[in-house]
Structure 1
Amino acid sequence: MDWQTWHDEYDLPDSLLARRLRVVQERIRLALDACPAGPLKLISLCSGQGRDVLDVLVDHPRRDDVRTRLVELDPRNSAIAQSAATSAGLDQVEVVTADAALTDHYRGMVPADIVLACGIFGNITEADIERTVDFCSQLCTTGATVIWTRHRAAPDRVPLICTWFEERGFDRQWLSDPEAGFGVGVHRFTGRPQSLALGERMFTFIGYDVLKDASAQA
């Protein structure tokens, strides 16, 4: 999978990815609007080209309050994100080219007020989805918003992901309609943040194409 050209579908206004992107961006805006006054921290795991975050921050009233870290493994995508952030004058956005699954890359940025896990849960095993949800209590401050995505193809794991979050002290704030063709979830952390365990791997990014092939051969 070429993860740079994968982003091209975002430029097609009626594509599934473009429609999902608009929903995620709206949820980020609402999360920023709901945050208390003062400095904020936002982290994005597997951030790609950062379109969801950067397109919101560029004209949001809280843009100068938000310290942001985007973590993306593909250097071509992270370079595009860095260029967009620089062009928009978003000086508090840090783009890190690294494996977003490793907890070390969030040192100094957690617990965060907004955590994005978009484009991950459809590309990792179910066990790793649950493991990543478990780590969210280390990434989030009390009251933080987690925005996540997952496709709704059979077997639809969106309800199960909601259960995993809700078993760990996250209240469901919003969930996209099943008929939308994609899943976007928003959960609010009501628990007490745990200390970040350094040197840990939250998940292994496999890719939805590889997972689909493996499922078909099983």
Structure 2
Amino acid sequence: MTRDWRAWHDDYDQPGSPLAARLVEVRAQVSAALDQAPAGPLRVVSVCAGQGRDLIPVLATHPRRDDVTARLVELDPRNAAVAEEAAREAGLLRVQVVVGDAALTDVYADLVPADLVLVCGVFGNVSDADVQAIVGHCAALCATGGTVLWTRHRREPDLVPTISEWFVREGFAPVAVRTPAERVGVGVHRHLGPPRPLPPGSTMFEFRSR
């Protein structure tokens, strides 16, 4: 049976759930990344953004909110509509929600390299080979000094340590790897090198709906 990705978000609203704990940690790391970002305009992209809960509530109250131009890419139009409404209610006029395939490089082409790249809820729904491929593409999505924030479950076999190693091999420095709830991983890496060219017309991964 295909998973209902709108209903999946309901666990965010359940106190004590792993997803609720993950959300708290991700939002804290988003806020920290914005705090540490250089002065001036900032770019943010969110891959498989869902309802935008990772980013939009943080931007709504953050001092850098008006510096940020963001693009949230989400395939499910129901979730995208929730994100769009939340952005508008918060007066975040530079937040764009795109209904489309987040795996396609072309959807990000005019907004990268970005200062913050969110890859949350992705690594647990693609093959290990695609996780490694996404990490490589992050070196094109992310600006020098920019931050990638990612999540992955920590069920066995736990891929989180390997993902961290892949980021280091691609020119990133580890900032934090947290486990805010049992079997939940949240990672933060900072890009040290120059951004690579983003290959046009490429598919970065295949999302496995299950």
Q: TM-score, normalised by structure 2?
A: 0.97
Give 1:116's aligned amino acid. Answer: L
- The separation in 2 between residues aligned to 1:134 and 1:186, in whole angstroms, is 15
1:126 and 1:178 mapped to 2: Cα distance?
22
For residues 103-125 of structure 1, the C-alpha deviation after alignment (integer angstroms, 9 at most, x for no partner) is 00001110000000000000000
The residue type equivalent to 1:168 in the other structure is E
Q: Distance in 1 between matches of 2:132 and 2:93?
A: 34
Matches within 5 A, 1:16-95: 16-95=18-97
The list of structure 1 runs, each at least 4 consecutive aligned residues, that deviate by more than 2 angstroms after superposition, is 177-181
Shift in Å at residue 177 of structure 1?
3.5
125, 131, 154: which one aligns with 1:123: 125
Superposed CA RMSD: 1.0
CA distance in structure 1 between the partners assigned to 2:43 and 2:183 by the alignment: 30
Unmatched 5+ residue regions in structure 2?
none
Structure 1 residues without counterparts, runs of 5 or longer: 210-218
Q: How many residues align?
A: 208
How many percent identity over aligned positions?
54
Deviations 1:165-209 (A, max 9, x none): 0011000000114864300000000011111111000000003x4
Cα distance between partner residues in 1 of 2:181 and 2:73: 31
- Deviation at residue 135 of structure 1 after TM alignment: 0.5
Give a deviation string over 1:130-176, Cα, whole Å, max 9, x none: 00000011101100100000000011000010010001100000011
Deviation at 1:13, TM superposition (A): 1.8
- Distance in 2 (alpha carbons) for counterparts of 1:49 and 1:121: 17
Residues 62 and 199 (structure 1), Cα distance of their counterparts in 2 relative to 1, 3 Å cut? same
Aligned residues of 1:112 and 1:141 also touching (Cα < 8 A): yes
Tell me which residue corresponds to 1:139: 141
Q: Give distance in 2, aligned partners of 1:119 and 1:177.
A: 15
